[in-house]
Chain A
Amino acid sequence: MRFYFLLLISIASLNLWAADCESQKVIKTYTPRYAQYFKIHYYDQFKIVESGKKPIVDRFMVADGPLNCTSSLFKFTANTKRFIATSTTHVSFLSVLNMENRLVGFQGINYLYNSKFQGQKIQDIHYQMNAEELLSLSPDLVMAYSANLAGQKRINELRKLKIPVVFNYDFEEVHPLARAEWMIFSAVFFNQDSIMQKYFTKIESSYNDLKKQALAFKKKNVLVGDIQNGKWTTCGGESDLAILIRDAGGNLLLKSTSRETQTISLEKVLKITEKADVWLTQNTWENLVPLSKDSRYKKFTSVPAYNNTRLLNKSGFNDYWERGVSRPDLLLADISEVIHKNGSHSLTWYKELK
């Protein structure tokens, strides 16, 4: 009896004496070059990741194996084998790493474009993220976004149930490269972050090369949007698409100072004096037939019109929102080709409507 009592005291003492993990020396920190809402701190045995928008920043640990320190942070495995995702932008890195088979649950499997996903067993997850449903899949990682979980409070509730859930804030980022940089965040849970950092550097360099090349071209006027419910709906002047157009050597017409989608009176649109050289419609038209049936588009019928529906899956969902977000360099090449038509690039997502 006395022996067991002493043993218990000794174990408790060891626990008390074990140092806090966060007091250990940080070996290096990955501070994203474009993304604003995550950071990765590398320690000897583990990584601590910060994600979120101030003042609510989530901090958690990614590690495998026993640690010689203690921490109150939620611990994720660095070797995720069962992954649940909730957005097409969360899964594109799997294709880069050839790890598509790790995806076991997804919210709206019809949205997935990659044919490898279509060929494997993936459970459709409900929008409200039902805890029982998630637990039934025994996930190592559940990647959500703030709209389908009410916030950090709900994350903490799910984590109490041992559901390893984390927010991905890629949609909050504005710059196309920032959105792509979130692949590094996702790769941490698969112990592939260093590979993904190198991959991202290549994308960044390719993007910046294209941006430099675009400087040599004459600026072209680009009209974005179409009529919805009697209003012209276009991208914000500071949105990711606006940045892509600017970097591709385009001058966005009807430019606002917002990053949000704009609805503008049709009268104002018809009064613009600048002539559009290219028109990027934001719809799913397959040709110009719908355009010819609506005389309100009369002013723009002579403008070459494009949309991004070249790659659709059998349910009509678009690879643009899967691979496009992770390859801003290819997106920029597409838009540059659409604007300048220099014939140096074969379009990936955009197509001309005829």
Chain B
Amino acid sequence: MNTRPTIALLSFLAITILLSAILFVYGEAGFNTQDQLILWQLRFPKIMVALLAGGMLASSGLLLQVFFQNPLAGPDLLGINAGACLGVAFAIMGASFLPVEWQGIGQALMAMAGALSVFFLLAFLVQKNLSRISLIILGLLIASFTSSFISVLVNMTPSLQVKNFLVWSMGSFQGLTIEDVPYFCGLAALGIVFLALMPKKLNQFIIGENYARSMGMNVQAFKFLLILVCSFLVASVTAYCGPIGFIGIIAPHLARIFIKRSDIRLVMPAVFLVGSSLALFTELILIFTSEYSLATNSILGLIGAPVIALYLYKERRVL
């Protein structure tokens, strides 16, 4: 029996737990295990959010890579992230029209609405048998459209709301309070349940649509479900943390390097744990560089871009 995937999975789990433990006892204020305020109001929410958001983004990346059969697919690709951003842009820049107590909720709901709008458009097109390449092009068009729309909103909006949006758009796992954590955990739990139900069918789908059909799978319905789950995961993270890049693309590759199996039942938890570890590792780097106030996405970009470049180099083929 090949024990390599099990060892790899346990190693990922150990790394995730180790990073979480380090982040719990060590922070910008140094080693601290006494101050309850720092431990439970600052470090605990940060760890929980990084742990879950990293895993959710990584899993959504895996789903998209399976769906598109393209190893460079990520949450940005379908425009779902962009849709969530547009929703949040509307929520933040129109926040002055809402009561204070509604503003946080409005942001999460609008992110969902933005992501789901893109999702329903994509689902409609999937039902119409639009090719995968066309979906990718459509995703890029949606991203371009939302980016332009946000620019127009920024130009038309008072500076304070623009500032709030710009701060949010920098992306961070630290923006959530302990009061927000139960809501975020609830969404993450729902996402994990969806993910837990998918591996068997994903294994059939990955072999090919004809094979999946021969096994009795309703391929159209499964594609619909796949995009729904992906939209849900991305929208949940984007609403609370802002747009976070690279984890969705690189985590599946890093996981596969060690798992060396294509069985989604093994790959899925590994990808989730690698995503979590990447997010936690980014937080650790941010502690050591706290005097420079770096952004989460800057660190992830520095890690992610070379990993993708390395992958492309290793997978180079003569066309």
**Chain A residues packing against B (C-beta within 8 Å):** 110-111, 127, 228-231, 263, 265-268, 270-271, 284-286, 289-290, 293-296, 298-299, 315-317
Do the beta carbons of A271 and B174 come within 8 Å of each other? no
Do the beta carbons of B28 and A265 come within 8 Å of each other? yes
Option from A229, A270, A286 in Cβ contact (under 8 Å) with B174:
A229
Do the beta carbons of A295 and B174 come within 8 Å of each other? no
> Given A270-B35, A295-B179: A229 and B290 within 8 A (CB)?
no
A128 to chain B, nearest CB (A): 10
> Given A230-B46, A231-B293, A267-B27: A295 and B178 within 8 A (CB)?
yes
Assembled-state Cα–Cα distance A270/B290 (Å): 15
Q: In the complex, which residues of chain B have a beta carbon less than 8 angstroms from the beta carbon of A289? A: 100-101
Assembled-state Cα–Cα distance A79/B249 (Å): 63
Known contacts A229-B167, A316-B158; 15 additional CB pairs below 8 A are A127-B155, A229-B172, A230-B46, A263-B293, A265-B29, A267-B27, A267-B32, A268-B29, A268-B290, A270-B35, A270-B38, A286-B100, A289-B101, A294-B177, A296-B177
Assembled-state Cα–Cα distance A28/B92 (Å): 53
Q: In the complex, which residues of chain A have a beta carbon less than 8 angstroms from the beta carbon of B32? A: 267
Do the beta carbons of B175 and A268 come within 8 Å of each other? no
Q: In the complex, which residues of chain B have a beta carbon less than 8 angstroms from the beta carbon of A286? A: 100
B96 at the interface (CB under 8 A from A): yes
Q: Please report the number of residue pairs spanning A and B whose Cβ atoms sit closer than 8 angstroms.
A: 73
Do the beta carbons of A229 and B101 come within 8 Å of each other? no
Query: What are 24 A-to-B residue pairs whose CB atoms are below 8 Å?
Result: A110-B158, A127-B155, A229-B167, A229-B168, A230-B172, A230-B173, A230-B174, A231-B174, A265-B27, A267-B27, A267-B32, A267-B38, A267-B43, A270-B35, A270-B42, A284-B160, A293-B177, A294-B177, A295-B178, A296-B177, A298-B41, A316-B96, A316-B158, A317-B158
**Which 6 pairs of residues, A with B, have the shortest CB-CB distance?**
A230-B174, A265-B28, A267-B29, A267-B28, A263-B293, A271-B29
B266 at the interface (CB under 8 A from A): no
Q: In the complex, which residues of chain B have a beta carbon less than 8 angstroms from the beta carbon of A266? A: 28, 42, 174
Q: In the complex, which residues of chain B have a beta carbon less than 8 angstroms from the beta carbon of A111? A: 158
B319 at the interface (CB under 8 A from A): no
B37 at the interface (CB under 8 A from A): yes
By the criterion of a CB under 8 Å from any partner CB, how many residues of chain B are at the interface?
Answer: 32
Assembled-state Cα–Cα distance A229/B27 (Å): 17
A143 to chain B, nearest CB (A): 19
B170 at the interface (CB under 8 A from A): yes
Q: In the complex, which residues of chain B have a beta carbon less than 8 angstroms from the beta carbon of A294? A: 177, 179
State which residues 161-190 of B face A: CB under 8 Å. 167-168, 170, 172-179
A324 to chain B, nearest CB (A): 16
Assembled-state Cα–Cα distance A298/B43 (Å): 15
Residue of A nearest to B164 (CB): A228
Assembled-state Cα–Cα distance A290/B179 (Å): 12
A325 to chain B, nearest CB (A): 15
Q: In the complex, which residues of chain A have a beta carbon less than 8 angstroms from the beta carbon of B29? A: 265, 267-268, 270-271
Residue of B nearest to A299 (CB): B37
Q: In the complex, which residues of chain B have a beta carbon less than 8 angstroms from the beta carbon of A231? A: 174, 293
Q: In the complex, which residues of chain A have a beta carbon less than 8 angstroms from the beta carbon of B173? A: 230
State which residues 16-33 of B face A: CB under 8 Å. 27-29, 32
Assembled-state Cα–Cα distance A127/B177 (Å): 36
Do the beta carbons of B100 and A290 come within 8 Å of each other? yes
Do the beta carbons of B28 and A268 come within 8 Å of each other? yes
Do the beta carbons of B175 and A229 come within 8 Å of each other? yes
